[in-house]
């Protein structure tokens, strides 16, 4: 199915662009050369100084020492000799169809109750552009929150060149159970729409996965926990949703299509069902016990911690929700530290959309380094490690020959000050400059 999808897309792209692009064909074959002051290639343990990156078409052709490199004739030279150059960044947990959901503007529910789908698509278009402006050239977008298959449409619009945006890996509607997702709190007589596809029983679960995969989901997203609250003994309790049998039906179906399953899970029963059912990545995992951590190591399960979002929008401290919000954050920190120490595979993710898209996506890097992750590892979690999660090893998340030319630059040294990644000044995606040091955008089309 993968081959079929790409062939179709490529065919459409060729049809759409064949005529106007024709005269520029020869020019497009001429290489672009980036002179880089320092390269953090996404994979190597150490940066390299004074490098030259040769790009032809949408791929990196060569990376070499500036002293010995030959600049090909006719090349366009981009001077980033005072900057640090990195691979385009990868956020493995976003929601382009959410916007922070300010309660004053109706919160989450207003999206589904009031917003026409075209408005949601327009806002998602802006979110995608914001991600690219900030140097995130790839997103794994983990569900549309009631906007159906809208992510498939945004992905096509980007791939066909209608709008600028990152490479998208999309998961469409997501899956949860009755009692496992909003809209909630309305009169029981009303049949309210839900932000995810609701299933009960393994048959419905498998059918939902089939539908989503059939419509083009790159990943399947499952909610394995839902509500959470402070328990009798001060512990965090997370309501489990799908049973192991329901999840196994989804995982079995999805793996059969050669795709993977991302599981939202905080802790407790739902987290353990997620691991027993064969989830490929645990999202949030803010209350990981030791047994879960060793099972993740054993099974090779990825951990996408999304730390920052749990520091936003805390309810007042003297309310049950406020106590829960603070407990979540306080459990997340030791969970992350223990997982890192045990060697759990960690990929960068933010839950942007839960955080307004006007905020810096790269704020998550500081959260990770504050909890003891070395800056180089934090960068790799958003480059070569994230590429592994997405099964795009060697194609994205690295500055190396053969990879797609997704390249960014910052003016400082992120190994000394990770916050420099919040101020990306140059963005190239697929060999085309989208944003330059001077801050002008180029025309992606
Ligand atoms: Zn999320």
Model confidence pLDDT, tens digit, residues 370-413:
999 999 999 999 999 999 999 999 999 999 999 999 999 999 99
Q: Which DSSP letter does residue 352 get?
A: B
What whole-number distance in Å separates Cα of residue 397 and Cα of residue 386?
Answer: 7
Ligand 1 centroid–CA 142 distance in Å is 6
pLDDT tens digits for range 147-162? 999 999 999 999 999 9
What whole-number distance in Å separates Cα of residue 376 and Cα of residue 40?
Answer: 9
CB atoms near residue 16 (< 10 Å): 13
Q: Is the pLDDT of residue 2 over 50?
A: no
Ligand 1 centroid–CA 262 distance in Å is 10
CA 107-174-329 angle, 5° bins: 55
**For the chain, what percent of residues have pLDDT higher than 70?**
92
Residues with Cβ within 8 Å of 292's Cβ and at least 6 positions away in sequence, in order, are: 267, 271, 272, 275, 285
Q: Which residues pair with 87 in a beta bridge?
A: 407
Question: Tokens 């800056």 correspond to what residue?
Answer: 375
Ligand 1 centroid–CA 86 distance in Å is 26
CB atoms near residue 261 (< 10 Å): 24
- pTM for this model (two decimals): 0.92
Determine how β-strand 302-304 pairs with β-strand 345-346.
parallel
Check: CB of residue 265 under 8 Å from CB of residue 312.
no
φ and ψ at 128, to 5 degrees?
A: -65, -40
Ligand 1 centroid–CA 221 distance in Å is 10
Ligand 1 centroid–CA 227 distance in Å is 14
SS3 annotation, 236-257: EEEEECCCHHHHHHHHHHHHHC
pLDDT tens digits for range 47-93? 999 999 999 999 999 999 999 999 999 999 999 999 999 999 999 99
Radius of gyration of the chain (CA): 22
For 137, the token pair is: 């050239």
Q: Is the pLDDT of residue 17 over 60?
A: no
What whole-number distance in Å separates Cα of residue 273 and Cα of residue 55?
Answer: 46
Ligand 1 centroid–CA 285 distance in Å is 12
Q: Quote the longest CA-to-CA distance of the chain.
A: 75
Check: CB of residue 312 under 8 Å from CB of residue 325.
no
What whole-number distance in Å separates Cα of residue 427 and Cα of residue 439?
Answer: 10
Share the mean pLDDT of the chain: 92
Residue 437's pLDDT is: 66
């Amino acid at each position: 199915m993968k081959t079929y999808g790409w062939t179709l897309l490529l065919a459409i792209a060729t049809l759409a662009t064949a005529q106007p692009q024709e005269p520029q064909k020869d020019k497009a074959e001429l290489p672009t050369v980036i002179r880089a002051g320092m390269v953090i290639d996404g994979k190597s343990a150490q940066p390299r100084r004074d490098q030259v990156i040769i790009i032809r078409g949408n791929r990196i052709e060569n990376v070499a020492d500036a002293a010995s490199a030959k600049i090909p004739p006719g090349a366009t030279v981009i001077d980033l000799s005072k900057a640090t150059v990195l691979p385009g960044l990868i956020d493995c947990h976003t929601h382009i169809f959410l916007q922070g959901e300010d309660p004053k503007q109706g919160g989450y529910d207003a999206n589904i109750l009031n917003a026409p789908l075209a408005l949601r698509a327009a806002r998602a278009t802006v979110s995608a552009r914001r991600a690219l402006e900030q140097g995130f050239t790839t997103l794994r977008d983990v569900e549309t929150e009631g906007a159906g298959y809208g992510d498939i449409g945004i992905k096509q619009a980007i791939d066909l060149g209608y709008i600028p945006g990152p490479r998208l890996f999309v998961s469409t509607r997501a899956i949860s159970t009755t009692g496992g997702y909003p809209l909630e709190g309305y009169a029981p007589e009303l049949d309210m729409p839900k932000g995810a596809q609701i299933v009960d029983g393994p048959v419905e679960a498998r059918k939902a996965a089939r539908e989503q995969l059939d419509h083009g989901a790159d990943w399947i997203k499952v909610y394995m926990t839902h509500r959470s609250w402070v328990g009798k003994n001060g512990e965090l309790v997370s309501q489990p949703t799908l049973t192991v049998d329901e999840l196994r039906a989804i995982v079995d179906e999805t793996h059969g299509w050669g795709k993977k399953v991302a599981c939202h899970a905080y802790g407790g029963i739902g987290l353990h069902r997620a691991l027993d059912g064969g989830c490929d990545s645990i999202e949030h995992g803010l209350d990981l016990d030791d047994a879960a951590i060793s099972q993740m190591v054993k099974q090779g399960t990825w951990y996408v911690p999304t730390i920052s979002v749990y520091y936003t929008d805390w309810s007042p401290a003297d309310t049950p929700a406020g106590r829960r919000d603070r407990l979540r954050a306080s459990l997340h920190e030791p969970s992350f530290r223990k997982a890192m120490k045990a060697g759990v595979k960690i990929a960068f993710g933010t839950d942007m959309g839960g955080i307004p898209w006007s905020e810096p996506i790269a704020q998550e890097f500081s959260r990770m380094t504050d909890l003891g992750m070395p800056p180089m590892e934090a960068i790799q979690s958003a480059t070569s490690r994230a590429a592994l999660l997405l099964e795009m090893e060697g194609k994205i998340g690295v500055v190396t020959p053969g990879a797609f030319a997704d390249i960014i630059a910052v003016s400082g040294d992120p190994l000394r000050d990770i916050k420099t990644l919040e101020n990306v000044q140059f963005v190239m995606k697929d060999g085309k400059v989208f944003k330059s040091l001077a801050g002008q955008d180029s025309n992606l089309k």
